Amino acid sequence: MTADLLIVGSGFFGLTIADRCARELGLQVQVIDRRDHLGGNAYTEVEPETGIEVHRYGAHLFHTSNQRVWDYVNQFTDFTPYQHRVYTTYRGEVFSMPINLGTINQFNRSAFTPAEARAWVAEQASMLTGEPANFEEKAISLIGQPLYEAFIKGYTAKQWQTDPRELSAEIISRLPVRYTYDNRYFSDTYEGLPVDGYTAWLERMADHPNITVTLEADFFDETQPHHKAATVGQVPIVYTGPVDRYFDFAHGDLSWRTLDFETEVLPVGDFQGTTVMNYADTDIDYTRIHEFRHFHPERDYPADKTVIMREFSRFAEHSDEPYYPINTPQDRERLLAYRELAKGEADVLFGGRLGTYQYLDMHMAIGSALSMYDNKLAPHFRDGKAFADHGL
Ligand code: FAD
Ligand code: UDP
Share of the chain above pLDDT 70, in %: 100
Whether residue 353 has its Cβ less than 6 Å from ligand 1: yes
Identify residue 317 by its one-letter amino acid code. E
Above 80 in pLDDT, residue 351? yes
Nearest to 298 by CA among 86, 85, 82, 76: 82
Pairing of strands 44-46, 93-97: unpaired
Q: Is 324 a catalytic residue?
A: no
Q: What distance in Å separates the CA atoms of residue 73 and residue 222, rounded to the nearest whole number? A: 35
pLDDT per residue as tens digits for the range 231-245: 999 999 999 999 999
Whether residue 21 has its Cβ less than 6 Å from ligand 1: no
Asked if 351 and 369 count as a contact pair (C-beta separation under 8 A), the reply is yes
Q: Is 334 a catalytic residue?
A: no
Task: Assign 133 a pLDDT band (cuts: 50, 70, 90).
Answer: very high
According to DSSP, residue 42 is labeled G
Catalytic pick among 33, 137, 345, 361: 361
Pocket of ligand 2, candidates 149, 152, 289, 362: which has the most ligand atoms within 8 Å of its Cβ, to mutate?
152
Above 90 in pLDDT, residue 309? yes
For residue 319, how far is the Cα from the chain centroid? 20
Please report the pLDDT score of residue 392 as a whole number.
80
Beta-carbon contacts of residue 144 (< 8 Å; ≥ 6 apart): 120, 121, 122, 123, 124, 125
Please report the pLDDT score of residue 130 as a whole number.
87
Domain annotation for the chain: domains and CATH numbers? 5-80+191-250+327-383 (3.40.50.720), 95-171 (1.10.3110)
For residue 48, how far is the Cα from the chain centroid? 26
Whether residue 172 has its Cβ less than 6 Å from ligand 2: yes
Mean pLDDT of 280-301: 98
Please report the pLDDT score of residue 346 as a whole number.
86
Share of the chain above pLDDT 90, in %: 95
Whether residue 144 has its Cβ less than 6 Å from ligand 1: no
Please report the pLDDT score of residue 43 as a whole number.
98
Identify residue 286 by its one-letter amino acid code. Y
Catalytic pick among 178, 293, 334, 353: 178
Q: Is 288 a catalytic residue?
A: yes
Please report the pLDDT score of residue 20 as a whole number.
98
Length of the chain: 392
Task: Assign 140 a pLDDT band (cuts: 50, 70, 90).
Answer: very high
User: 0.90 exceeded by the pTM?
Assistant: yes
Pocket of ligand 1, candidates 240, 259, 275: which has the most ligand atoms within 8 Å of its Cβ, to mutate?
240
Q: What distance in Å separates the CA atoms of residue 359 and residue 342, rounded to the nearest whole number? A: 20
Please report the pLDDT score of residue 391 as a whole number.
78
Residue 172 Cα to ligand 2 midpoint, Å, equals 7
What is the position in ligand 2's atom list of the atom closest to the CA of 97?
A: 8
Mean pLDDT of 105-134: 95
Query: Where is 147: in which H helix or E strand?
Result: helix 145-147
Whether residue 61 has its Cβ less than 6 Å from ligand 1: yes
Whether residue 159 has its Cβ less than 6 Å from ligand 2: yes
Q: Is 166 a catalytic residue?
A: no
Nearest to 369 by CA among 37, 97, 16, 33: 16
Please report the pLDDT score of residue 35 as a whole number.
98
For residue 228, how far is the Cα from the chain centroid? 26
Q: Is 174 a catalytic residue?
A: yes
- What mean pLDDT, rounded, does the chain reach? 96
Q: Which ligand is nearest to the CA of 57?
A: 1
Phi first, then psi: give them for residue 125, nearest 5 degrees.
Answer: -105, 5
Above 80 in pLDDT, residue 10? yes
Task: Assign 308 a pLDDT band (cuts: 50, 70, 90).
Answer: very high
Above 90 in pLDDT, residue 128? no
Whether residue 41 has its Cβ less than 6 Å from ligand 2: no
Q: What distance in Å separates the CA atoms of residue 31 and residue 142, rounded to the nearest whole number? A: 43
pLDDT per residue as tens digits for the range 186-231: 999 999 999 999 999 999 999 999 999 999 999 999 999 999 999 9
Residue 40 Cα to ligand 1 midpoint, Å, equals 5
Q: Is 382 a catalytic residue?
A: no
Q: Is 68 a catalytic residue?
A: no
Asked if 117 and 111 count as a contact pair (C-beta separation under 8 A), the reply is no
pLDDT per residue as tens digits for the range 328-347: 999 999 999 999 999 999 89
Task: Assign 169 a pLDDT band (cuts: 50, 70, 90).
Answer: very high
Whether residue 175 has its Cβ less than 6 Å from ligand 2: yes
Task: Assign 387 a pLDDT band (cuts: 50, 70, 90).
Answer: confident
Nearest to 16 by CA among 40, 35, 36: 40
Cα dihedral value 162, 55, 72, 359, nearest 10: 10
Residue 230 Cα to ligand 1 midpoint, Å, equals 25
Please report the pLDDT score of residue 155 as a whole number.
97
